[in-house]
Amino acid sequence: MTLPIFTPAEDPGPSFVGLLGRLGMGGSDAGPSAPAGPTLEGLTHATTVLAIRCAEGVVMAGDRRATSGHLISHRTMEKVFPADSASGVAIAGAAGPAMEMVRLFQLQLEHYEKVEGNQLSLDGKANQLTLMLRSHLPAAMMGLAVVPLFAGFDEREDRGRLFQFDITGGRYEEQDHAATGSGSLHATTVMKLRFREGMGADEAQTLAIEALYQAADEDSATGGPDLVRGIYPVLATITSSGFTRIPDDEVAELTRSLLNRSSDGA
């Protein structure tokens, strides 16, 4: 048996399927085909999350929509979670792997605290998330990317800190605000224009809701507030007192107040 020789015009390149086609072994002659599996288009994806540094610590927020291709698969998805009592993580990307990564991250931090008797440093927590993303890279290259945000209150520096990541595990500390997901470009624009050094938690919460609202206005995968169904963004603060999820009724009141000001032209 000799290796096939191709002219440059006929070279199928690195594709094995292309090689079979050139040799006349593709199509129906290649034997029964395997049943088609689920496509990446049908996978559920979380969309836009953000974090804003404030005087008391950090505010984290996320919309509630999850999409499967061009369809809305979930309208009330949770995307902001406590990593431990002093930090939080928000997810964007493939929803299934992202949820699993969050649960494993929470478990690892809890295990460290029980074994060592104290919490891992904030930088150590961010490094742990980096390692998890790096190990997830093969799946990310297949389209199952997970891109989280991580934030916490650093007792050593007595301030809130926030970190952004990429699919390779790259970790980037942001000074003022960060966003990831399909609507991150529009959310970042709003935060960049509205952010003020030393702003309080209440002001940061309003800014977070406004950023998500404007992102939803431009990005179909980001869910805006739904007053009919009573669906509002997830909002949390991380301060020296720990991770606190803002009650839904308070988020609803903040959202309605923002919408009223917008309708009045304020």
The DSSP result for 169-228, as a single string, is --EEEESSEEEESTTHHHHHHHHHHH--TT--HHHHHHHHHHHHHHHHHH-TTS---BTT
Half-sphere exposure of 264 (CA within 13 A, CB side): 7
Mean pLDDT on 251-264 = 88
- pLDDT > 70 in the chain, percent: 83
Q: Which residue in the list 47, 48, 130, 222 is annotated as catalytic?
A: 47
Looking up residue 201, the CATH number of its domain turns out to be 3.60.20.10
Query: How does pLDDT run across 201-222, given as a tens digit for each residue?
Result: 999 999 999 999 999 999 999 9
Q: In the 8-state DSSP scheme, what is residue 160?
A: E
Task: Specify if 148 maps to a domain.
Answer: yes
Task: Specify if 35 maps to a domain.
Answer: no
pLDDT at residue number 30 = 42
Mean pLDDT on 27-39 = 44
Does the active-site annotation cover 2?
A: no
Task: Specify if 77 maps to a domain.
Answer: yes
Stretch among 5-14, 67-76, 251-260 having the lowest mean pLDDT? 5-14
Task: Specify if 245 maps to a domain.
Answer: yes
- The phi, psi pair for 193, rounded to 5°, reads -80, -35
Token pair of 141 as six digits: 């290259």
Name the residue with higher pLDDT: 29 or 163: 163
Query: How does pLDDT run across 51-94, given as a tens digit for each residue?
Result: 999 999 999 999 999 998 888 999 999 999 999 999 999 999 99
pLDDT tier, 29 (very low <50, low <70, confident <90, very high otherwise) = very low
How many CB atoms are located within 10 Å of the residue 121 CB? 13
Task: Specify if 62 maps to a domain.
Answer: yes
Task: Specify if 12 maps to a domain.
Answer: no
Task: Specify if 33 maps to a domain.
Answer: no
In degrees, rounded to 5, the angle at the alpha carbon of residue 191 between the alpha carbons of residues 209 and 252 is 5
Q: How many domains does the chain have?
A: 1
pLDDT tier, 47 (very low <50, low <70, confident <90, very high otherwise) = confident
Q: Which domain holds residue 211?
A: 41-263
Which of helix, strand or coil describes residue 104? helix
pLDDT at residue number 45 = 82
Query: How does pLDDT run across 94-150, given as a tens digit for each residue?
Result: 999 999 999 999 999 999 999 999 999 999 999 999 999 999 999 999 889 999 999
The pTM of the full predicted model, rounded to 2 decimals, is 0.82
**pLDDT surpasses 80 at 251:** yes
